């Protein structure tokens, strides 16, 4: 059966991203643009039958994404500066422990799209262009998405099954699962019906980011949010 993976509707598969850390100057209204930067979609079809085996959309919860997420969340929930700082510290520290993706999929037979099930139609791997291939350390099914998960990840509709997929940042021998020399990294969904890859192309970072002083950064005045 002829299979092909087609470019998804996000239209940003070739957009470059950076894994550099450091302070950001985001406000709440920047969130949608940052979400698009870190989100990829791919479709896996059977051309002979025009059957959609799999549509997968994933957001890589990078340092950059998490900063914008916290700013949006703090604005929506009217957090104090202290609350915002503690949340920012916690969520950014998680990027030093693991690589995490928010994933929503549909297509084929729904019961076989449960990525946590032993009979799932798909296995997922974190890959990069240096040959790294890493299995998840944890896959969490989001069986009842709340209002926040529906709003902040709007592609997570009622037709999809959502997951948070976590990969180790380093292997047991200390090797980074996304190589420092990688030009791209991605998620591979593979199964009997074919395989599909969601790819994030990496920009070349200029200078290493300076250490982040979160307490000072949280207290800094921000440019006003439009309409607030």
Residues 145-159, mean pLDDT to the nearest whole number: 94
Range of the domain at 70: 3-204
Into how many domains does the chain fold? 1
Evaluate whether residue 165 is within a structural domain: yes
CA distances from residue 19 to 38, 74, 90 in whole angstroms, order as listed: 11, 23, 18
Residues 9-17, mean pLDDT to the nearest whole number: 62
Evaluate whether residue 139 is within a structural domain: yes
The answer to whether 9 touches 48, Cβ cutoff 8 Å, is no
Evaluate whether residue 186 is within a structural domain: yes
The pLDDT assigned to 155 comes to: 97
Evaluate whether residue 216 is within a structural domain: no
- Neighbouring CB atoms inside 10 A of 209's CB total 14
Query: Residue 221 pLDDT > 70, yes or no?
Result: no
Distance CA 76, CA 31 (A): 12
The pLDDT assigned to 64 comes to: 98
Evaluate whether residue 107 is within a structural domain: yes
Evaluate whether residue 214 is within a structural domain: no
User: Could you give the angle at the alpha carbon of 52 between the alpha carbons of 48 and 55, nearest 5°?
Assistant: 145
Evaluate whether residue 157 is within a structural domain: yes
Evaluate whether residue 38 is within a structural domain: yes
Query: Residue 207 pLDDT > 80, yes or no?
Result: no
Residues 43-63, mean pLDDT to the nearest whole number: 84
């Amino acid at each position: 059966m002829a299979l092909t993976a087609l470019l998804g509707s996000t239209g940003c598969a070739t957009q470059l991203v950076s894994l550099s850390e450091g302070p950001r100057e985001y406000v709440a209204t920047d969130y949608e643009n940052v979400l698009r930067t870190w989100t990829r979609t791919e479709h896996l079809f059977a051309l002979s039958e025009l059957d959609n085996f799999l549509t997968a959309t994933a957001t890589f919860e990078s340092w950059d994404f998490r900063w914008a997420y916290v700013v949006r969340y703090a604005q929506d929930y009217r957090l104090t500066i202290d609350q915002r700082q503690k949340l920012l510290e916690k969520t950014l520290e998680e990027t030093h422990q693991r690589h995490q993706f928010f994933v929503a999929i549909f297509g084929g037979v729904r019961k076989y799209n449960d990525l946590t099930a032993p009979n799932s139609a798909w296995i997922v791997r974190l890959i990069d262009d240096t040959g790294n291939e890493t299995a998840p350390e944890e896959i969490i099914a989001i069986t009842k998405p709340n209002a926040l998960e529906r709003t902040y990840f709007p592609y997570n509709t009622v037709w999809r099954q959502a997951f948070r997929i976590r990969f180790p940042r380093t292997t047991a021998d200390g090797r980074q699962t996304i190589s420092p020399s990688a030009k791209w990294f991605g998620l591979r969904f593979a199964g009997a019906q074919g395989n599909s890859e969601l790819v994030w192309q990496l920009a070349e970072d200029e200078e290493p980011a300076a250490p982040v002083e979160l307490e000072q950064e949280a207290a800094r005045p921000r440019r006003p949010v439009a309409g607030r």
